[in-house]
Amino acid sequence: MNSIVKVLFIAGGTLCVALGMLGIFLPVLPTTPFLLLATFCYARSSARLHEWLLTNRWFGEYLKNYHKGRGMRFRDKVVALVLMWPRIGWTVLYAISFWWGKLLLLVIALSVTVHLLRLKTYRPVLQAQKAEGARVPPK
């Protein structure tokens, strides 16, 4: 890979990690898409940074499960929604005066909610049992 392209991917990945971290605190910025984009950028430019992102203690497991198609743990879905809605609600009620800005934020929040609810729910114990070949009782 061209060294300029590699540097651009690293810079883009680092910018996405920074924006993702800001998204934890700012309701307008989404966290997950930026972290997924950072994973993409680091995978194409730096094995060390990619490994760091996937083994990060706060979001590494989440990113690995998402990329492997396992989905998201139920607890993580609940936490995401419980943190998102009050922040979006506060922003809509007190921080934004334009009706279209309020509407846009509500549409984004509803879209994220629908996405999270439709996303496969990862159950680590069940997945481990399946991996071991143990008989899993039907629901």
pLDDT tens digits along 52-108: 999 999 889 888 888 888 998 998 889 888 888 998 899 899 999 999 999 998 998
Taking the complete model, does pTM exceed 0.85, yes or no?
Answer: no
Q: How many CB atoms lie within 10 A of CB 32?
A: 18
Say whether 55 sits in a helix, a strand or coil: coil
So what's the pLDDT on residue 15? 96
* In the chain, where the domains are located: 1-68, 71-139
Residues 57-91 as b/e (b if ≥16 CB within 10 A, e otherwise) read eebbbbbebbeeebbbbeebbeebeeebeebbeeb
Cα-Cα-Cα-Cα torsion 73, 79, 82, 85, nearest 10 degrees, comes to -80
The amino acid that residue 19 corresponds to is L
Nearest to 39, CA basis, from 71, 8, 15, 63? 63
| Residue that has been written with the tokens 């049992």 in this structure | 129
User: Does residue 92 contact residue 27 with C-beta atoms inside 8 Å?
Assistant: no
